Amino acid sequence: MDEQSDFSWRRVTGLFKPHRTRVAGVVLLVVATAVIGIVNPLLIQRTFDDGLFPADADGPDVSLVVWLCVIMFVVTIGSAALGVMQTIVTNRLGQDVLRDLRDRLYTHLQGLSLSFYASSRTGDLQSRITSDVGGVQTAVTSTLSSILANIVTFGSAVVAMLVLSPMLTLLALATVPFFVIATRRVGRLREAFTAETQAATAQMSVVTQETLSVSGITLAKLFGRQDREIARFSDANQRLAAVATKQQVIGQSFFTVVQAFLGATPVVVYLVAAFLLDGGNTSLSAGTIVAFTTLQSRLFFPVARLLETTVELQSSRALFRRIFAYLDAESDVVEADDPTQIEPQAVRGEIAFEQVHFHYDQHDDATPAALDEVTFTARPGQLVALVGPSGSGKSTVLSLLARLYDPTEGSVRLDGVDLRELGFASLASSVGFVTQESYLFADTLRANITYGREDATDAEVEKAARAAAIHDRIMEFPDGYETVVGERGFRLSGGERQRIAIARVLLHDPKVLVLDEATSALDTASERRIQAALDELVSGRTTLAVAHRLSTIQAADVIHVVDHGRIVESGTHGDLLEAAGAYAALYHEQFGDGEIETTCEDGTVFADGRCEYFASLTDAERERVLATRGNA
């Protein structure tokens, strides 16, 4: 993943475009609050010079002081009220922008192809959505108002100070360049450390996600590797703490110096004022000096806040780069601009692979292709099986049919329509997929079964569950279909999870059924029940099945043998056995000496657990099997 994404602050400000009206409201509140802030310092001058120490009176003008104090009190309360309102409106606006950003990021990630996720880590994805977006919260929620408020405050303070004393104002402004020089250095350092902090946070998230999941913790316990995982977490935690400490120290030490400077500047004003008064300058009064030092905080504090905001923005830039890197990631599987839509009831279910070539890494010609010149057709209602050794490309064929990937060359068609021209919704409603690893959400059994059809009735759910031979097991749970299965269906056995997944696809009722080792996790009895149900359910559907256990695909209309990404043999079970080629070799390996043998009732020595299957064969099929095995 390229972290150097297309970044610009204009792109960041573009996040606020849908909220223009509220932004305008924030601007008005900020300007009003900032302008009101200079009223009290000017009133302080009147209080000192005209109220407490009037030049033409023997004592203070108590009534004027009372009125000035009342006005200052009202201004203070009003300014505070506006400040609270500004904070509420600004934070609500910022949180809405962050919400939109998270939604946009998650939606974009959902649209990326499987190849993106094959090269990404779940923990890192989670970190981008939560930690990175959360890290820019300050920049999004308060940066706009902070910059505007401090600019207005600074400008109004300068005007008021010039009115009071131009000479003292020039003295105060002369120190501003030093702040600017310092902040550039600090900003670059904090930006670098922020990027490191987020990378360390993502790494710790990855470790946590991998090791504290049900699968991860089970594996660690089984192999006695808890100490190793604790060490991994400690290392990641130590790295995060070290980098975060550096980031905080750099920022805090700088602003401690700033605060110390703000505390020392009135001393300079008093010294300069003393020399000016001693030199006969009559424009300075006690009220002017007090008002000036009061305004001075409204000059330097906004400068410090602007510098802090600049540092925060520079730090946030590293986070925005990480976020935009994912937003800029392009999917290699996209929906056509004007896709073809097919109504589910109009789908016939004809599948055609035409000269399909596929390479997982399009830029690596040295690695062999996953598929090479694969061509076959599955006519409506046919059961087409794909067999072959592990890694031969069988599951890749099914992935292309589900359009998890697109072919490098050639095309995959459904009812004559190239899948690249078919709408995603039409494809999803037409093709049902049972993967080799059945994924269940940590939700109820009902929710998992109805994942593809949330409007299904109870009767439809039960029918699908019965067809998948899982209804009776579900009813054994105290809560029945409302039973929560735990993370990844941990409360269920592998066979039960597989049957829930099959029920989910059956309820979805696709015209094309894809089974990728759909019965691999089932015991012999469950396999027979599932196989019997599937034999009826595949009627009228086009079914593509990948199987290592050849007994599950004996009745297939066509069996394609895949090896090194090519179809090397095709035919029916009987034809392929008679051909004594690659399929016969696989059959011999599976039912021959590769398994524990037992003696069947008829005296035939056969692979353990296959006597019942062998007894179900015709005499001609038995002869072919025995001839292939060399066991007459």
Average pLDDT over residues 611-615: 54
Q: What is the chain's percent helix, strand, coil content, to nearest 5?
A: 65, 10, 25
Of 34-43, 555-564, 596-605, the least confident: 596-605
Cβ atoms of 369 and 356 within 8 Å: the answer is no
Most confident range (mean pLDDT) of 125-139, 242-256, 317-331 is 317-331
State the pLDDT confidence band at 519, using cuts at 50, 70 and 90.
low
Range of lowest pLDDT (483-487, 511-515, 594-598): 594-598
Most confident of 139-153, 185-199, 609-623: 139-153
Given a cut of 70, is residue 593 above it in pLDDT? no
Q: What is the mean pLDDT of residues 124-129?
A: 72
Burial class (CB in 10 A: 0-12, 13-18, 19+), 293: buried
Going from N- to C-terminal start, the domains of the chain cover 9-327, 344-591
Percent of the chain with pLDDT over 70: 77
- Look at the block and give the residue holding tokens 């059809």: 453
Task: Give the global pTM.
Answer: 0.65
pLDDT score of 70: 92
- pLDDT range class, residue 262, cuts 50, 70, 90: low
- Residue 621: the pLDDT is 55
Is residue 411's pLDDT more than 90? yes
Mean pLDDT over each residue of the chain, to the nearest integer: 78
Q: What percent of the chain has pLDDT over 90?
A: 10
At residue 330 the predicted structure's pLDDT band, cuts being 50, 70 and 90, is confident
Q: How far apart are CA 514 and CA 140, in angstroms?
A: 46
User: Given a cut of 80, is residue 225 above it in pLDDT?
Assistant: no
Give the 3-state secondary structure of 364-410: CCCCCCCEEEEEEEECCCCEEEEECCCCCCHHHHHHHHCCCCCCCEE
- 10: Cβ contacts below 8 Å, ≥ 6 apart: none
Q: Return the CATH class of domain 344-591.
A: alpha beta
Pairing of strands 542-546, 512-516: parallel
Q: How confident is the model at residue 208 (pLDDT cuts 50, 70, 90)?
A: confident
Edge to edge, the sheet with strand 558-563 lists 431-434, 512-516, 542-546, 383-387, 558-563, 566-571
**Is 97 strand, coil or helix?**
helix
Cα separation of 183 and 259, whole Å? Answer: 14
Q: Quote the pLDDT of residue 397.
A: 92
* Residue 594 structure tokens: 């590769």
Q: Which of 22-26, 142-146, 288-292 has the lowest mean pLDDT?
A: 142-146
**Is the confidence at residue 595, as pLDDT, over 50?**
no
Domain 9-327 homologous superfamily, CATH: ABC transporter type 1, transmembrane domain (1.20.1560.10)
| SS3 state of residue 417 | strand
Query: Is pLDDT above 70 for 88?
Result: yes
Whether 565 and 408 have beta carbons less than 8 Å apart is answered as: no
Q: What is the mean pLDDT of residues 506-515?
A: 86
Tell me how far the alpha carbon of residue 303 is from its chain's centroid: 38
Give the pLDDT confidence score for residue 598 in this predicted structure: 45
Strand partners, 598: 606
Q: What pLDDT shows up at residue 89?
A: 86
Query: What pLDDT is attached to residue 596?
Result: 38
162-189: per-residue pLDDT in tens? 888 888 888 777 767 776 676 667 666 7
- Mind spelling out the 3-state secondary structure of 22-80? HHHHHHHHHHHHHHHCCHHHHHHHHHHHHHHCCCCCCCCCHHHHHHHHHHHHHHHHHHH
pLDDT of residue 370: 87
- Outline where 128-225 has alpha helix (H): 133-135, 137-164, 166-173, 176-211, 214-222
Region 596-602: mean pLDDT is 48
